[in-house]
Amino acid sequence: MLAQTELERALPAGLPPILLATAATPSVAALRLPFEGLGPEGYLVRTVTLNGRPTLLIAGNGDKGALYGAFALIRHLATTPFADTLSLSSAPRVKLRVLNHWDNLDGSIERGYAGQSLWDWWTLPDFRDPRYTDYARANASIGINGTVLNNVNAKADSLTAPYIAKAAALADVFRPWGIKVYLSVRFSAPIELGGLKTADPRDPAVAAWWKAKADEIYRAIPDFGGFLVKANSEGQPGPRDYGASHADGANMLAAAVKPHDGIVMWRAFVYAETDPEDRAKQAYTEFKPLDGKFADNVLVQVKNGAIDFQPREPFHPLFGAMPRTPLMIEFQITKEYLDFATHLAYLGPLFTEVLDAKTGQKRGETVADVVDGQAEGHKLSGMAGVANIGRDRDWSGSTFNQANWYAFGRLAWDPDLSAEAIARAWAAETFGNDRQVVDTVTAMMMGSREAVVDYTGALGLAHLMATGHHYGPGPWVADLARPEWNPVYYHRADAAGIGFDRTTSGSNAVGQYAGPVARAFAKPETTPESMLLWFHHLPWDRRMADGRTLWEDLVGHYDRGVAYVGRMRQQWDSLKGKVDAEIWQKTATYLAIQEREARWWRDASLAYWMSVNHRPLPAGVRPPEHDLAWYKAQHFPYAPGQAH
Amino acid sequence: MLAQTELERALPAGLPPILLATAATPSVAALRLPFEGLGPEGYLVRTVTLNGRPTLLIAGNGDKGALYGAFALIRHLATTPFADTLSLSSAPRVKLRVLNHWDNLDGSIERGYAGQSLWDWWTLPDFRDPRYTDYARANASIGINGTVLNNVNAKADSLTAPYIAKAAALADVFRPWGIKVYLSVRFSAPIELGGLKTADPRDPAVAAWWKAKADEIYRAIPDFGGFLVKANSEGQPGPRDYGASHADGANMLAAAVKPHDGIVMWRAFVYAETDPEDRAKQAYTEFKPLDGKFADNVLVQVKNGAIDFQPREPFHPLFGAMPRTPLMIEFQITKEYLDFATHLAYLGPLFTEVLDAKTGQKRGETVADVVDGQAEGHKLSGMAGVANIGRDRDWSGSTFNQANWYAFGRLAWDPDLSAEAIARAWAAETFGNDRQVVDTVTAMMMGSREAVVDYTGALGLAHLMATGHHYGPGPWVADLARPEWNPVYYHRADAAGIGFDRTTSGSNAVGQYAGPVARAFAKPETTPESMLLWFHHLPWDRRMADGRTLWEDLVGHYDRGVAYVGRMRQQWDSLKGKVDAEIWQKTATYLAIQEREARWWRDASLAYWMSVNHRPLPAGVRPPEHDLAWYKAQHFPYAPGQAH
């Protein structure tokens, strides 16, 4: 049994005998333990007396529960001494806890910063790299139970027989660890592979093609999870090409996998170059009217915010607005907009900030309540994380990036966990349970994402990065083909003020939010300062809560972000000799890179804002190192992770 | 001292005390040992008596010699028990023993099959991955003393200040291991980076730009090795664009690095789409007249054969034909044309076959004699190997591919070593000195390259692979833009016969060879059967030495190649439990892939030849599994290593 092996690898000596069992094991059944609420994946770990002897029981309603229980025990004992009255119990609140790999068939990864794709498509299905097993173990240990193998910008080839066989080999490796395989599909595959003239979802030949394709996949992978679809978004084909709706497209695919208990995850990330509406509004506008129109094995997958994985965004207005549809939330674990692998940014606080946000739709309802689907009685629920995993030795490009993979898994299992508790557990499991190490690492992590917000653009600014690769500052960019690709579209800075007016006097994106939330966002006074310029265009000399002007406050945020990174370097220095030397050195080097680049972000941004608002820096503030022209001249043609 | 650390890591207990020294160490000088012929890199390892005690002396004229001596001792003791009268001594016959990395700045590797580039350009120069040191150690252990960091299809960006700093960081890591860094340069860089209107090597502004660039590089890397140039070849810019000669171009660059003791390696791999001449002849035609025209710090780098790293080619006719010019030989360690990383093909016999070939220019002169430059008294000599190294855990895509890196290094140090001795040493150093393991592994290796020749096309056939990625069979391909890109250009098969007539009745490429070699190649009777169809177009029913017809013989080669792989699988099976389990499993899987693909090569090729010659298979020969149309329909859009 896999759980047994994991326990033997990880547990200290001196524990009572361990019994891995299920609720149906006769000796366990006699104990009358509370298995009812655990479902197929929940676990119960408890010290019990069996045959007169103290025994550590790890059990669930089935093997999956016992496996998750074993990992829970290992995690618990990594941070807490064994106690005779140990009692742990948990069941996942979210059913589909899924990684999205934006991995291409040529081995590159869109927005990947940890080397090539872990999947060596070239040697699959023959060679099953032992790392595939390690990947599955790592995921199972944090509760992840599904993985979408290929990029949402999908090639039709992933649905050909050779690639189905490759996916099946991975599914074979992952299955014992409770992990299902899913595929991203290209909506026009019936044309490209099937030779049909259309991919119109209402065409019976198209539906038949997908049905046959699903049948073919399920013959190779009997427990195949289903399809993830990016349609009519950023150039991808979709049902709108034929005048059909997203629901038409999703339901047609859902019918194909339905006989096999498969599901469809349909992304709501759409915005059209022909649509002059505020990009932040378009997904809601397109999908809200479709509520109730999706088949019961479809989930609509909604990004955490309405733009695109910025260091901070307000929660997406669709959460709570489609009560008749199970909405998955999609987070990005890979740090596309947070300067990639070298910047230490713990995303736990980003994830929990969104999950904990009140939707305003129902009294007390949070985004997490929508995502777990329990209020509406949805049988499906899901959380997706765009993976930060590659073939590099440290899996994620840096040791600290592993914490974001870890935090995603833990929160998908239990969205009520605190980001800090997760950070502490990760630190202890990663570096050992030395108090100074855990305290210091946790302290570094907890403010690190806010530091990125501060040095890249605080107060609700967003999408200020350079073009294409999204690395480094580019708030001045104004020459891209589509208006909503340009940073100037987002910040709208001029001599008088800065910010995107999304109130009734502007795009009225606030109108997509419900009741009290909409009312709060409608006025600067009641909008959290952290999101102020997301919703409002305001004068540079507006007074902020602390009495400073907006401009002074913004400058202060840049300096605070840079200073935080400097502090992290000092904190990390204090751990030299207390963590693995190789990990210490690499992390120290990366923090030095981060501090330099944080300064660059700050300096470039200030130089630009000053060119727009013609204001001096507040007294005592360090001027940018270079002039604006210098920052504009920086180019990085070989930045990693670019789409191609 | 690095050598000391290596000895401590690797040597068994129970040896006498070891003294690492130089010839100038007083106690060593008193021994009057023969240091004269060792040069700056040679070593001497000997049991001596010092202060009345037996001592194992490792020494050279300088530190490099001692380092190479330490590795030689480690290698010696991996295969041979320690003897009290140990005496090893060697000096490299070739001065520049250089890897060519076809690594792109975006991390991809042209013709790379072992993952991304080992150089993480993105985090350089800050982060110095410990693997850079391991890479340098591995190279030093086999005598390699130079590395060209970037693709010969070079981007000008590699000459910008940020990339010079990155290269300098690598040079810092490699320097203690006796390894110099070189860069491939784009000939048009003065236009792209310098804003000049021309890159004409005769233009003083161009020469001045390169001089300043060289000065800049040497400020960052004082022992920078020099430039590698692919000019006027496959779309690369070069001096011919301006009517200047290759010598003009090389000499202009040579002048730029000359004050710093740098050198230029100028590739002779040229063929022009406008030139109707047999591609095999064009490099000779272009370069032979330039003999004597190159500056004294230029080497001309010539591929081992006149086409392009085929499984077998006759040696390049330029060897021996340019006595006034130091000619480097360029081998390809990565297996672009031998079906990539999954096929076991030990290249030692390919390397030695070429090095041992008689040029026919001078009595007894071999290619190795030309390459080491001693006959002509050249102060420079060199051997280049296109690296098979990437970021994968096993460095080279498979364990056995490491043997090709190893063999290249050993032969660059001493071209007289036998491929079998190298294989045995590698096997012992890799798997341990178990007699059965070493014998079996060596036996597998020694015939493996010939097997690839047999199952891809024997008897001197070449360039029969599929287009672009060069994976798998494509002898039918006839529709590519340039004639010499098409396999049909090379095999010229029709109903009557097969082969490329390179005699006086054909292209007269044999006329580029000297004296007895030219005479032998001029007639089928005196051409080795292994190169028969390279030089001659012959009837399908020509009688071969063994009495069979050419067609029967060719079919026999295909079957022999496939059978050899089957035998390797059995041999490897016999080692289960005797080598590391993970390595065993991966290799066994790869051998299964290789056997399947060897059959595919055989079947596809036979189906095609039969469609051309309309001949039945000899009695008892298995027919192809599919019809020709099936083989033609195979496509591999995501094959690794493609240029882009």
**How far is the first Cα of chain A from the last one, in angstroms, to the nearest whole number?**
43
B291 is catalytic: no
Among B38, B68, B90, the domain-final residue is B90
Say yes or no: B152 and B125 in one domain: yes
Query: What is the nearest CA distance from A230 to chain B, expressed in angstroms?
Result: 22
Query: What is the nearest CA distance from A471 to chain B, expressed in angstroms?
Result: 12
The pLDDT assigned to A329 comes to: 98
**Lowest model confidence (mean pLDDT) among A465-469, B267-271, B374-378, B477-481:** B374-378
Say yes or no: B267 and B399 in one domain: yes
B336 is catalytic: yes
Whether B638 and A582 lie within 8 Å, measured CB to CB: no
Say yes or no: A202 and A54 in one domain: no
B176 found inside a domain: yes
The pLDDT assigned to B14 comes to: 87
B624 touches B635 (CB < 8 A):
no
Say yes or no: A183 and A39 in one domain: no
Strand intervals (E) in B310-454 = 327-332, 382-386
Between CA A70 and CA B119, with CA A99 as vertex, the angle to 5 degrees is: 105
A61 touches A39 (CB < 8 A):
yes
The pLDDT assigned to A12 comes to: 87
Indicate whether B1 pLDDT > 80. Answer: no
Block means of pLDDT (10 residues each) for chain A, 644 residues, are 92 92 93 95 96 94 96 95 92 98 97 97 98 98 98 98 98 98 98 98 98 98 98 96 98 98 97 88 97 98 98 98 98 98 98 98 96 93 98 97 98 98 98 97 98 98 97 97 94 98 98 97 98 98 96 98 98 98 98 98 98 98 98 97 85
A274 found inside a domain: yes
Among A31, A55, A90, the domain-final residue is A90
Say yes or no: B127 and B71 in one domain: no
Domain limits for position A74: 2-90
pLDDT band with cut points at 50, 70 and 90 for residue B306:
very high
B641 found inside a domain: no
**In CATH, what number is assigned to the domain containing residue A75?**
3.30.379.10
Give the Cβ contact number of residue A123 at 10 Å.
23
Among residues B273, B257, B268, which one has the least CA distance to residue B290?
B268
Say yes or no: A74 and A139 in one domain: no
Out of B278, B286, B336, B553, which one is annotated catalytic? Answer: B336
Q: Tell me: the pLDDT tens digits for B466-515? A: 999 999 999 999 999 999 999 999 999 999 999 999 999 999 999 999 99
Among residues A20, A43, A35, A146, which one has the least CA distance to residue A92?
A43
A130 found inside a domain: yes
Q: Tell me: the pLDDT tens digits for B447-470? A: 999 999 999 999 999 999 999 999
Beta bridge partners of A227: A183, A264
Indicate whether B644 pLDDT > 90. Answer: no
**In CATH, what number is assigned to the domain containing residue A565?**
3.90.1330.10
Chain A CB within 8 Å of residue B539 CB: no
pLDDT band with cut points at 50, 70 and 90 for residue B243:
very high
pLDDT band with cut points at 50, 70 and 90 for residue B37:
very high
The pLDDT assigned to B156 comes to: 98
Say yes or no: A57 and A103 in one domain: no
Say yes or no: A182 and A256 in one domain: yes
The pLDDT assigned to B273 comes to: 75
Among A90, A115, A139, the domain-final residue is A90
Is A628 strand, coil or helix? helix
**In CATH, what number is assigned to the domain containing residue B288?**
3.20.20.80
Whether B590 and A638 lie within 8 Å, measured CB to CB: no
Among residues A143, A145, A181, A174, which one has the least CA distance to residue A411?
A143
Whether A586 and B107 lie within 8 Å, measured CB to CB: no
* Total domains in the fold of chain B: 3
Query: What is the nearest CA distance from A123 to chain B, expressed in angstroms?
Result: 8
DSSP string, B561-606: HHHHHHHHHHHHHTTTTTS-HHHHHHHHHHHHHHHHHHHHHHHHHH
Q: How many CB pairs under 8 A join A and B?
A: 73
Whether B638 and A122 lie within 8 Å, measured CB to CB: yes
* Nearest-10 Cα torsion for A455, A460, A465, A467: 180
B553 is catalytic: no
Chain A CB within 8 Å of residue B105 CB: yes
Whether A593 and B123 lie within 8 Å, measured CB to CB: yes
Say yes or no: B69 and B178 in one domain: no
The pLDDT assigned to B141 comes to: 98
CA of A449: how far to CAs of A311, A336, A473, A558, B434, in Å?
7, 13, 17, 13, 55
B207 found inside a domain: yes
Between CA B161 and CA A116, with CA B97 as vertex, the angle to 5 degrees is: 55
Say yes or no: A57 and A101 in one domain: no
Chain A contact set for B130 (CB, 8 A)? 582
Among residues A353, A278, A305, A357, which one has the least CA distance to residue A537?
A278
Q: Which of B107, B122, B126 comes nearest A592 by C-beta?
A: B126
Chain A contact set for B592 (CB, 8 A)? 126
Query: What is the nearest CA distance from B132 to chain A, expressed in angstroms?
Result: 13
Measured between CA atoms, the residue of chain B closest to residue A115 is B116
B65 found inside a domain: yes
The pLDDT assigned to B411 comes to: 98
A442 touches A429 (CB < 8 A):
no
Q: Tell me: the pLDDT tens digits for B320-347? A: 999 999 999 999 999 999 999 999 999 9
Chain A contact set for B192 (CB, 8 A)? none
pTM of the model: 0.97
Among residues B118, B219, B122, which one has the least CA distance to residue B174?
B118
Is B286 strand, coil or helix? helix
Categorise residue B397: left if φ over 0, alpha if ψ from -120 to 50, beta otherwise. left
| ipTM passes above 0.90 | yes
**Cα(A46)–Cα(A339) distance, integer angstroms:** 44
pLDDT band with cut points at 50, 70 and 90 for residue B375:
confident
Is B32 strand, coil or helix? coil
Say yes or no: B84 and B125 in one domain: no
Measured between CA atoms, the residue of chain B closest to residue A106 is B638
Q: What's the mean pLDDT in B302-316?
A: 98
Measured between CA atoms, the residue of chain A closest to residue B596 is A126
A441 found inside a domain: no
Host H or E run for residue A89: strand A87-90
B529 found inside a domain: no
Chain B contact set for A130 (CB, 8 A)? 582
Q: Which of A128, A637, A639 comes nearest B157 by C-beta?
A: A637
Q: Tell me: the pLDDT tens digits for B45-59? A: 999 999 899 999 999
Q: Cβ neighbours of residue B84 under 8 Å, at least 6 residues apart?
A: B47, B54
Query: How far, rounded to the nearest angstrom, does the alpha carbon of residue A497 sit from its chain's CA centroid?
Result: 33
Torsion over CA: B436, B439, B443, B445 (sign): positive
Mutation site, B116, B121, B401, interface A, largest A CB count within 10 A: B116
Say yes or no: A64 and A103 in one domain: no
The pLDDT assigned to B374 comes to: 87
